[in-house]
Chains A and B, each alone.
Chain A
Amino acid sequence: MKQVKRILFGMLFVFSLAGCSKAVDKPNDENEHESINGIELIFSESGGPTKSFMLEDADGDGGNPPSRIDTIFAQPNKQYSVVVKIFNIKNGVSKDLTATIQSQGVSHEFYFIPTKITAVIQKTDRDKNGYPIGIQSNWQFSAMGSGSILLKLMHKTALKGPNDGPNVGHSDIQISLPTIIK
Chain B
Amino acid sequence: MVLSTSFAQPQKCKIFLSGVVVDASNNAPLDRAVVEIRELGLKFITDLEGHYHFYNLCAGNYTLVVNHISCDSISLKTQIQRNIIKNFRLPHSFNELETVSVSAKKDILLNTIKEELSNKIIDATRGQSLGEILKNVNGVAVLQTGSTIFKPVIHGLHSQRILLVNNGVRLESQQWGTDHAPEIDPFIADKFTVLKGAGALRYGSDAIAGAVLIEPKPLPKQTGKNAEFNSTYFSNNRQYVFNGMYEASPLNLPELSYRVQATYKKGGNARTPDYWLYNTGLEEFNYSATVGLRKNRFNTELFFSSFQTSLGIFMGAHIGNLTDLQNAIQSSKPTQNIDQFSYDIVRPRQSVQHYTAKSKSQYWLPNDHKLNLIVSYQSNSRKEYDRALLSPRPELDLNITTTLVDLNYESVNTKRGQYSFGINAMIQENVWTGSRFFIPNFRAQNIALYATQALSIHNWVLDGGVRYDFRTQTIFRNNNDAFSSSKRTFGNPSGTVGATYKITPNLRWLINSAFAWRAPQVNELYINGLHHGTASFEIGDPNLKSEKALNFSSQLKYQLDSSWQVDLTLYNNIINDFINMNPSTPATLTLRGAYPTFKFIQTNAILRGLDFSMQKNINAHFSTGAKTAFLWATDRKTNDWLIQMPSNRVEGNIRYTFNTALLKEASIDLHLLHIMQQTRIPQNIPDYLPSPAAYNLVNLDFNTDLIFGKQKVNVGLSVINLLNERYRDYMNRFRYFNDEPGRSINLRCNIKI
Contact = CB atoms under 8 A, between A and B. Distances in A.
Contacts of A88: 390
Nearest to A156: B336
A94 to B, nearest CB: 14
B479 A34 contact: no
A37 B591 contact: yes
A158 B470 CA distance: 52
A91 interface: yes
A61 B590 contact: yes
Contacts of B405: 15
A34 B391 contact: yes
A168 B324 CA distance: 9
A172 B480 contact: no
Contacts of A62: 528-530, 537, 539, 588, 590
B472 to A, nearest CB: 7
Contacts, number: 175
B224 interface: no
A161 interface: no
Given A29-B479, A30-B477, A172-B388, A167 B592 contact: no
B727 to A, nearest CB: 26
B193 to A, nearest CB: 30
Interface stretch (A18-26, A117-125, A136-144): A18-26
B205 to A, nearest CB: 14
B530 A159 contact: no
21 contacts: A12-B425, A15-B405, A20-B429, A20-B443, A27-B441, A29-B479, A30-B479, A31-B479, A36-B591, A36-B592, A57-B590, A60-B590, A61-B530, A157-B387, A159-B338, A170-B318, A170-B320, A170-B324, A170-B387, A173-B593, A175-B592
A63 B529 CA distance: 9
B129 interface: no
Contact of B390 (A5, A91, A100): A100
B593 A171 contact: yes
Interface in A21-73: 21, 23-31, 33-37, 39, 55, 57, 60-63, 65-66
Residue from the set A15, A36, A62, A173 with the largest chain B CB neighbour count within 10 Å: A62
Contacts of B429: 19-21, 23-24
Given A24-B476, A157-B387, A175-B593, A9 B324 contact: no
B476 A33 contact: no
Nearest to B430: A24
Interface in B315-357: 315, 318-321, 323-324, 327, 335-336, 338, 346-347
B589 A26 contact: no
Residue from the set A23, A55, A88 with the largest chain B CB neighbour count within 10 Å: A23
Contact of B480 (A16, A29, A61): A29
Interface stretch (B145-153, B206-214, B432-440): B432-440
B192 interface: no
A174 interface: yes
B393 A171 contact: no
B483 A26 contact: yes
A24 B530 contact: no
A3 B485 CA distance: 27
A148 B186 CA distance: 56
Contacts of A26: 476, 478, 483
A15 B425 contact: yes
Interface string B659-700: 000000000000000000000000000000000000000000
Interface in B590-615: 590-593
Interface in A97-146: 97, 100, 104, 107
B336 A168 contact: yes
B320 A66 contact: no
Nearest to B395: A34
Interface SS, A side: loop
B277 to A, nearest CB: 14
Given A11-B425, A62-B590, A104 B389 contact: yes
Given A33-B435, A167-B327, A175-B593, 14 more contacts: A5-B470, A23-B429, A27-B431, A29-B480, A33-B436, A55-B591, A61-B529, A61-B537, A61-B590, A88-B390, A104-B389, A107-B389, A168-B336, A171-B593
B468 interface: yes
A88 B390 CA distance: 10
Which 6 residue pairs across A and B have the least CB separation, nearest first?
A171-B320, A174-B593, A170-B320, A65-B589, A30-B437, A34-B435
Given A16-B427, A62-B529, A28 B537 contact: no
Contact of A173 (B389, B446, B592): B592
A174 B323 contact: yes
A18 B440 CA distance: 22
Contacts of A27: 431-432, 440-441, 476-478, 483
Interface in B194-227: none
Given A37-B591, A104-B389, A172-B388, A28 B433 contact: yes
A175 B480 CA distance: 26
Contact of A171 (B321, B468, B539): B321
B745 interface: no
Residue from the set B470, B529, B539 with the largest chain A CB neighbour count within 10 Å: B470
Nearest to B532: A170
B250 interface: no
A104 B485 CA distance: 40
B320 A155 contact: yes
Nearest to B403: A19
Contacts of B432: 27-28
A18 to B, nearest CB: 8
